[in-house]
């Protein structure tokens, strides 16, 4: 009679190997190189404010665009860390791009939007404009 030893972790090791193969493909490297920056929004009395955390992103690599009441932020992070010692040489590169879009309310003064990048944080100020309230009107049904 042949005895087989029961291994409760055999299936887990098999699953781990299959997942490692799946994440080592070129497609997953492209997906993992993208990042989604953290965004904080707040409304003040005279303006809306958007703060975007963009560590490692230079202001030259950031695009802020407004089109049809949609604010779109695009950017790319590029970093290269080089470490040279007597016995070794190490280079680490990190690249990633992002796109974020926000639908804006109708009371934004699009002509006076201000964006500034300081110490890895993009600050966008969206001034409010006065919107004339349309009076309600009764529509006659025919």
Number of domains in the chain: 1
pLDDT digits (tens, 9 = 90+) for 20-53: 777 665 544 444 456 788 899 999 999 999 999 9
Give the separation between CA 91 and CA 78, rounded to whole angstroms. Answer: 13
DSSP strand pairing (70-84 vs 89-103) = antiparallel
Give the separation between CA 35 and CA 117, rounded to whole angstroms. Answer: 18
Q: Is residue 30 part of a domain?
A: no
Q: What residue ranges of the chain have pLDDT lower than 70? A: 1-6, 23-34, 134
Q: Is residue 84 part of a domain?
A: yes
Q: Is residue 12 part of a domain?
A: no
> Which pLDDT belongs to residue 20?
75
> Which pLDDT belongs to residue 32?
44
Other CB atoms within 10 Å distance of the CB of residue 93: 9
> Where residue 44 sits, what CATH number does that domain have?
2.60.40.790
> Which pLDDT belongs to residue 86?
82
Taking the whole predicted model, whether its pTM rises above 0.95 is answered as no
Q: Is residue 137 part of a domain?
A: no
Expressed as residue numbers, the domain containing 62 is 35-127
Q: Is residue 114 part of a domain?
A: yes
Token pair belonging to 19: 């997942």
> Which pLDDT belongs to residue 24?
64
Give the separation between CA 41 and CA 56, rounded to whole angstroms. Answer: 21
Which residue(s) pair with 83 in the sheet? 90
Q: Is residue 41 part of a domain?
A: yes
> Which pLDDT belongs to residue 30?
46
> Which pLDDT belongs to residue 31?
44
Three-state SS string over 96-129 comes to EEEEEEEECCCCECHHHCEEEEECCEEEEEEEEC
SS3 1: coil
> Which pLDDT belongs to residue 79?
75
């Amino acid at each position: 009679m042949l005895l087989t030893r029961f291994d409760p972790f055999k299936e887990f090791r098999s699953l781990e190997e299959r997942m490692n193969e799946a994440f080592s493909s070129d497609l997953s490297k492209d997906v993992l190189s993208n990042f989604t920056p953290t965004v904080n929004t707040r409304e003040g009395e005279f303006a809306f404010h958007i703060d975007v955390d963009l560590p490692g992103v230079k202001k030259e690599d950031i695009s802020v665009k407004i089109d049809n009441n949609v604010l779109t932020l695009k950017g790319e992070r590029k970093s290269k860390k080089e470490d040279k010692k007597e016995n070794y040489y190490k280079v680490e590169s990190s690249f990633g791009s992002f796109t974020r879009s926000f639908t804006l309310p109708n009371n934004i003064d699009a002509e006076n939007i201000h964006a500034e990048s300081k110490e890895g944080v993009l600050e966008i100020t969206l001034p409010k404009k006065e919107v004339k309230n349309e009076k309600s009107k009764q529509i006659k049904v025919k």
